[in-house]
Amino acid sequence: MLPSADLKPVLSDEWFNLGPKRASWIQITKRAHSLGFDFELINDTYCDWLPEPKESRLCICKKGSIWGQLPKIFGVRSSLEDQNEYFRYFHEERGQFVVTYLSLNFPEDYHGEAVYPWGISWVRKQTTEGFAHGFISMLPNGCVPHNPFDLFKQFLDHLHQEWNKSCLRLTDRVEELRRDQVKYKGVSHELIDCLAQASQSRAHLSKCLHSHIEGINDIINTNTSFDLEEKSRLATDMGVIEKRLMSKLSHSEQSLRELLQIELAWVSRNESASVKRLSWLTVSNIPLNLCVLITFNWTVRFPAADVCLESLWDER
């Protein structure tokens, strides 16, 4: 590649499509002294993410299954600092070697489609000739970061986009249920269950969002890869993202509550109408029932009883 090559417009999938088969890794190395880039496709679990001193290397991971194994590949000695179903993070400093790993996950949508974990990581090694920086990513762009702050900014931008997609899917589902409610007007036997399922999905998203926000804010405040100015800028960006996403989830929650109240009102109205119809049918048939009671011959014959009665009469 030429020294002036711009990697920002290049998507990760475009890099992967350059090979004859789908590789596991893309390795892009920015050579020292702005002498251009080296590119390599790697079809293996392991990727050499540390370049030579004064160089920067971006390793883009394609497979979520490999991404989940990175802590083991890194040889993490301590347990993950913050780990749950939606957020995993660790940061270790071993002498001249520093490694940070961040992995996120989202809950299944209402179709039951799982989302594979993704995230970013960076390693730094100090040598007598200078620092070597390695960046590891599952982000969709192929731009080699200048530093951990640059990578984390890219990560926050992509995270915001992914959350917007999740919120949009939930909003579309709510509108779909609203149309069904107007169509069936309380006679659907499945709509209440669908509303409950959508509310459960929103609750999972809310739990996931709180997990992401809490974990990321902790990284911003404690990770030694960022200076004070970078921490301040990242905290500001994260505050804006949090406010927007919380507003969207709150709006969806309110919409689902309104739909549930309307649906219960429809069902109650239909049941009340059914009771009235049943009462009308019962009252309208009372004269007929009385006529049957009056005209019906209620004599019941018990032959054995007749014999006993006749015997008693004869004895008298």
Q: Greater confidence, 309 or 132?
A: 132
pLDDT digits over 191-205, tens only? Answer: 999 999 999 999 999
Q: What percent of the chain has pLDDT over 90?
A: 45
Do residues 134 and 191 share a domain?
Answer: no
For 48, the 3-state DSSP assignment is coil
Task: Please state, as a whole number, how many other Cβ atoms lie within 10 Å of the Cβ of residue 84.
Answer: 13
- Alpha-carbon span 152 to 158, nearest angstrom: 10
Task: Determine, yes or no, domain membership for 300.
Answer: no
Tell the burial category of 178 from Cβ atoms under 10 Å away from its Cβ (0-12, 13-18, 19+): middle
Q: What is the mean pLDDT of residues 279-299?
A: 52
Cα 157–chain centre separation: 17
Strand-pair category, 25-30 with 56-61: antiparallel
Place of tokens 């392991």: 46
Strand 56-61 relative to strand 130-137, pairing: parallel
User: Per-residue pLDDT for 289 more than 80?
Assistant: no
Q: What pLDDT digit, counting tens, does each position of 68-125 carry?
A: 888 888 877 666 555 788 999 999 888 888 999 999 999 976 555 656 789 999 999 8
182 and 135 inside one domain = no
Q: Are residues 83 and 187 in the same domain?
A: no
Burial class (CB in 10 A: 0-12, 13-18, 19+), 243: exposed
Domain end (from 123, 143, 163): 143
Q: What is the DSSP letter of 1?
A: -
**Alpha-carbon span 220 to 199, nearest angstrom:** 31
Residues 70 and 177 in one domain: no
**Res. 307 pLDDT band, cuts 50 70 90:** very low
Highest mean pLDDT among 4-8, 182-186, 274-278: 182-186
Q: How far apart are CA 264 and CA 270, in angstroms?
A: 10
Neighbours of 38 (CB within 10 A): 14
Q: Lowest-pLDDT range, 97-101, 187-191, 219-223, 302-306?
A: 302-306
Count of domains observed in the chain: 2
Same domain, yes or no: 65 and 40: yes
Q: Clarify whether residues 95 and 203 are in a common domain.
A: no
My answer on whether 279 and 150 are in the same domain is yes
36-79 pLDDT per residue, tens? 888 898 988 888 888 888 888 999 998 888 898 888 888 776 66
Structural domain boundaries, residue 255: 146-284
> Within a domain: residue 292?
no
Can you give the pLDDT at residue 72? 84
Q: What angle do CA 198, 189, 187 make, to 5 degrees?
A: 110
**180 vs 12 pLDDT, higher one:** 180
pLDDT in tens, 132-184: 889 999 999 878 899 999 999 999 999 999 999 999 999 999 999 999 999 99
Does some domain include residue 289? no
What is the total residue count of the chain?
A: 316
Higher pLDDT, 16 or 239: 239
pLDDT at 104: 93
Check residue 59 and give its pLDDT: 94
pLDDT at 27 over 80: yes
Question: What is the token pair recorded at 56?
Answer: 């920067």
Residue 13: band (very low, low, confident or very high) from pLDDT cuts 50, 70, 90 = confident
In a domain, 310, yes or no: no
pTM, two decimals, is 0.81
Q: Does any domain span residue 8?
A: no
How many Å apart are CA 96 and CA 133, to the nearest integer?
Answer: 12
**Which tokens is 62 given?**
């394609």
Three-state secondary structure of 249-307: HHHHHHHHHHHHHHHHHHHHHHHHHHHHHHHHHHHHCHHHHHHHHHHCCCCCCCHHHHH
Residue 209 carries which DSSP code? H
Nearest to 133 by CA among 121, 141, 125: 125
Task: Give the pLDDT score at 281.
Answer: 46
CB atoms within 10 A of CB 298: 5
Eight-state DSSP code of residue 25 = E
Mean pLDDT of 222-250: 97
